[in-house]
Chain A
Amino acid sequence: MNFEEALNKGIFLISECNYCKIIVWPPSEFCNQCLNENSWRECSRIGTIIEFSKKEKIYFCVAKFENSIQLMGEVISGAPRKNGDVEIVECGITNNRYFFKMIVMS
């Protein structure tokens, strides 16, 4: 299963190089250092908010996962806090765009 097939089913995968021992991000079939084929595994859904802002009633943020990769998503559980923990509770693809919904962890 590739990244998008998994994401379509609500599974959040990351690509990892078994030779370089690194997470390759954005997700890719080949390592961006040694160019060998990557393997896939589920990513931890617990991350840290790096920065956030708000459009009307929607909070959006950049969050970091596995202390390595960063992505943007929506915080659906009220006001986030910089450096606070979040959990991805829903992810997928809609209208050809990825989405990541997060909640603030208390």
Chain B
Amino acid sequence: MPKVAIVGYGQTKFSNEDLKIESVLLRATKNLFDSTSNLTQKDIDSVLVSTNNNSKYLSAILSEMTGIQPKIAHSIESLCNSGTNSIVSAYSYIASGLAEVVLISGAERYDSPGQILEWDNLRGEFKHPIFWASIFSKSYKKKYGITDEDLAFVSVKNHKHSKSNPFAFSQKGVSMEDVLNSKKLTDDLRLLDCSRPCTGGSSILLTSEKFCKKFTDSPIWITGIGQKTTSASFTKNQTFDHMESTKQATKSAFQMSKKSQKDIDVMEIHDAFSVCEPMALDSIGFTKPGEGIKLVKESYLTESPKINPRGGLLGAGHPLGATGISQTIEITQQLQLKAGKRQVDKAKVGLIHNMAAAATSSTILVLEN
């Protein structure tokens, strides 16, 4: 399999700004151009846009606004894991030889229509994500004897991490009391257990091995990809205390990369809600079922940035189409040893977990330096 590298990136600060989606894409891409050596418009032969926004023809629009005339240009939508889906598409174009240099830009507005999957009528009147998250929380807590206080560690840890991420929505930490006293949305979910939909953009540049050295001395390689879609309907999940799509995607990604859980130095986990982080840690196989929360607590108490160093979705915010790309940028910076205060010591192998629609689909990426 031909090698595919990550060689550049740019982001906007995640905020509640009322910006046009085209403007968010443009700003993130300008930041990529500003920070990538030797990059000109003529180098880019494909432009992919990751978003749930209803605006049309965005990859052609972004190309026009940035002076690129790509061979391949289109949008990719897969709810919350649109970002990693677009990276997988770019990887495929490069690995197949159809493209050499692919620009991917993900963006979302705070009022994204991707927050609610209208098609999923089996959720009845309870289509907002807080309802599936409440069912997940209740089920996970009950099965493994976990308390609301235990889950609050996820939010406290990730908000602490996001203070070191200049692009994060939340720049102030939260205490255990803040989480437990935040607005009760349901019996099993509080406001600070929820990631925040926001406006944000992230752009990333992928190249073939042949072209990577033009842009960076420290390319980061995508060595493992796993994806699995088990259904589209939340209620088709066979259990609500486990992420089957994540488990299966992990197996594929580790098979491809010839790595395993013990090789991972740093990870981005899709903590759309507090409960998602320990559930994902279990489902990826970092911990035995029900023990993910122990790893979260240990990570917090030892001040380790290993899990969600940029603050996760809880601390950084969740602009759906940008999230998977921002997660991938974070792991890239970690493996380049350029993550500043968030740096995990001597990180060599990183993992990204990005999922959609109550874990009915998941992507796992493995990156190496």
Interface, chain A (partner B; CB < 8 A): 25-26, 50-55, 60, 62, 70-74, 82, 96-100
Contacts and interface: CB of A to CB of B under 8 A. Distances in A.
A54 B240 contact: no
Contacts of A55: 130-131, 134, 185-187
Interface residues of B, number: 26
Contacts, number: 69
Contacts of B126: 60, 72, 74
Contacts of B127: 97
B188 interface: yes
A15 B30 CA distance: 51
B124 A99 contact: yes
Contact of A74 (B121, B124, B138, B236): B124
A53 B124 contact: no
A53 B186 contact: yes
B138 A70 contact: no
A50 B188 CA distance: 16
B186 A26 contact: no
A69 B139 CA distance: 18
Nearest to A82: B142
A100 B185 CA distance: 21
A82 B131 CA distance: 17
Interface in B32-78: none
Q: Which of A62, A70, A73, A98 has the most CB of B within 10 A?
A: A62
A53 B234 CA distance: 15
Contact of A26 (B122, B138, B142, B185): B122
Contacts of B189: 53
Q: Which of B125, B185, B240 has the most CB of A within 10 A?
A: B125
Contacts of B135: 51-53, 62
Contact of B187 (A26, A54, A62): A54
